[in-house]
Structure 1
Amino acid sequence: MASAATWAVGVILARQLGAHIPPLALALLKNGMVLMVLLPLALLLHGHAWPTMAAAQWAWVLLSGVLGIAVADTLYFRALNELGAGRMGVIGNLYSPSVLLLGYVFLGERLGGWQWLGFALVALGVLLVARPPSQWRTQPRHGVRGVLIGMLSIALMAIAIVMVKQPLEQHSLIWITVLRLLGAVAGLAVLSRLPALRSLVTFDASQVPWPRLWVAALLGQGVSMLLWLGGYKYTSASIAAILNESASVFLVMLGAWWLREPVGRRAWAGVVLTFTGIACMLSGRVTL
């Protein structure tokens, strides 16, 4: 729950920073800032001893960072700029059903009838915001494209967390976080060098509110990521994903209050449906 709250604040700050920094550059800056803080902390806490993992696990954790942070965060910020925090918050509720399905297939977590009903309700809630009424539209007017980009980013986040579930259970939380960040920063650096994407990392540094960026990075990215991965370390992937859905409540409310984003009845209906679905998911038990 604490991860959801800090993440929601970070998203709101990122939404405001999007006016000054393009999505790819924002993702690179935020993750680089967090890595600058967490890597020395990990070395200090663990006596400068790197984790002892098989080469395959190292590769798996680093790839999780590339997919789940480098690619997914860049797509997420792009969708956030197009849709706004409230709508993107509801679309983000696709995350827990995605983790439930992947956990079922790859981790052996079994779902009950109530949880499958919850899956359907969450999916219906997301569909309610896929074609919003005219007063809901934001600039630029690429609602459908924004929804598709947002859904792809959520799917990649779900895949990445399932990839790293077993290493998380076996190794230090802070080291797994640092290794994912290393993969993320490396992946973002490669993306930023592609000719087609170079324009997405160009910005005027003098126009950037750096104090706000540091808060967004350390709170919404660093602290939230540690708490988020901690949830997956100490409970099942399915339960952790469901509890993370409380972030959408924070996003819708903060988007309306902080950013003055209009939120219509269809949005609230989507929120009610998705959280009814979450309640159904929690009413059943996950078995292994």
Structure 2
Amino acid sequence: MLGEVAALSAAFFWALASLLYGRFSHHFSALQLNLVKGVIAASLMLLTLPLLPNVEFSLSPEHIGILLFSGVIGIAIGDSAYFASLKRIGVNKTLLLESIAPPLSGILAVLILGSLLTWQSWLGVLVTTFAVALVVMQPETHTQKVNAAGIGFGLLASVCQASGVVISHYALVAGDIEPLLGAVLRLLAGVGVLLLTLVLIKRQQLAQLVTGFSKMAQREFVLLLIAIVVGTFLTLWLQQIALKYANPAVAQTLIATSPLFILLFSILKGQIPSGKTLFGTVLAVGGISLFFIFR
């Protein structure tokens, strides 16, 4: 149950952060934004780790290597692709493309880990994924051109997300690793690869980081910090908890309910959803409930 609750909490925070991150596409490139959020979130995690009671820091080289590899795939490549897609096709369409990650996680979990799901869980995966897709396919309030690059980046982000969570799940469970420690290792690997990429290939972008910050108003900087704390520090920590205590396909499916929370934010702003959107929301709640009943 802890894993499922953590996954739903991660979905809520990721939805909130995605809305905030979308405000900074004119300040930073996808690689720059990924590096900035990685450095700040990793620093917060390193400061938090010593405060946790009874944390075991002894890790085998095998599990360290697996988590680092997972960070390169899921964070360095996956998050960069996500931000690139977010910049090109917007929040809703990017999250729609991410809805393919849960069934892909289930297939990878079976093929790689031999982690079988019950029929209720598979049904929950299918129903929730369909419902999320049904919701985010509704017309947006603002028209945004969809291009092939944005779709490609969104699909790449989904594949990397699914691969990363399955690999991370194995290391967290096999090594009995504290979720925050696993999140730190993944994030440090992602930051390292991003920094190396910017230094060796995109050196101009690294120099432009200072310019991007100088153009930001104080309020924008505060919002960026909130997005990083909520969307990376908290979300990645909760994701690791979910991956340790729940099947990766179940965890990924629940995390993919982020569009439903975006729908809630829209309602709170006075934007009335269509009947089809409401039906999709109810259907998603039903799909989520399949993970909690018949256990």
Shorter chain as denominator, the TM-score bin is: 0.7 to 0.9
Partner of 1:3: 10
Q: Percent of pairs identical after alignment?
A: 22
Q: Distance in 1 between matches of 2:246 and 2:192?
A: 29
Report deviation, 1:278: 4.0
Shift of 1:25: 0.8
Deviation at 1:10, TM superposition (A): 0.8
CA displacement, residues 223-269 of structure 1 (integer Å, 9 cap, x when unaligned): 111112111112222222222222121134546877x99x9899x49
**Who is 1:243 aligned against?**
254
Secondary structure at the counterpart of residue 110 of structure 1: coil
The answer to whether structure 1 residue 157 and structure 2 residue 161 are counterparts is: yes
Matches within 5 A, 1:191-202: 191-195=197-201, 198-199=204-205, 202=208
Contact 1:61 1:163 survives alignment (8 Å): yes
> 1:55-85 deviations in whole A, cap 9, x for unaligned?
1211111111111111111110110111111
* Aligned ranges 1:98-177 → 2 under 5 Å: 98-112=104-118, 137-138=143-144, 141-169=145-173, 170-177=176-183
Tell me, yes or no, if structure 1 residue 96 matches structure 2 residue 105. Answer: no
**Residue number among 187, 190, 195 corresponding to 1:184 in the alignment:** 190
Structure 2 match to 1:45:
52
- Tell me how far apart the structure 2 counterparts of residues 199 and 250 of structure 1 sit (CA, whole Å): 33
- Code of the residue aligned with 2:60 in structure 1: it is A
Task: Please say if 1:231 is aligned against 2:239.
Answer: no
Any conservation in 2 of the 1:99–1:162 contact (CA below 8 Å)? Answer: yes
**Equivalent AA in structure 2 for residue 238 of structure 1:** A
Matched residues in 2 for 1:81 and 1:265: separation?
Answer: 29
Indicate which of 28, 31, 39 corresponds to 1:32: 39
Query: What is the deviation of 1:11?
Result: 0.8
CA RMSD of aligned residues (A): 3.6
**Does the 8 A contact of 2:88 with 2:147 survive in 1?**
yes
Q: CA deviation at 1:168?
A: 1.6
Other-structure match for 1:71: 77
- Please, which of 212, 215, 231 is the counterpart of residue 220 of structure 1? 231
What letter is aligned with 1:241? Q
Deviation at 1:23?
1.3
Q: Which residue of 2 is the match for residue 204 of structure 1?
A: 212
TM-score after normalising by structure 2: 0.79
Query: In the aligned structure 2, how far is the partner of 1:80 from the partner of 1:50?
Result: 37
Query: Could you tell me which amino acid in structure 1 is paired with residue 66 of structure 2?
Result: W
SS at match of 1:165: helix
1:275 aligns with 2:290: no
Seen in structure 2, the aligned counterparts of structure 1 residues 70 and 20 have a Cα distance that, compared at 3 Å, is: same
Measure, in 2, the Cα distance between the counterparts of 1:60 and 1:185. 16
Structure 2 runs not aligned, ≥5 long: 1-7
Preserved CA contact (<8 Å) 1:65 1:184: yes
CA, structure 1 residues 105+15, in 2 after alignment: closer, same or farther (shift >3 Å)? same
TM-score (norm 1): 0.80
Q: How many pairs are equivalent?
A: 281
Change (3 A) 1:133 1:277: same
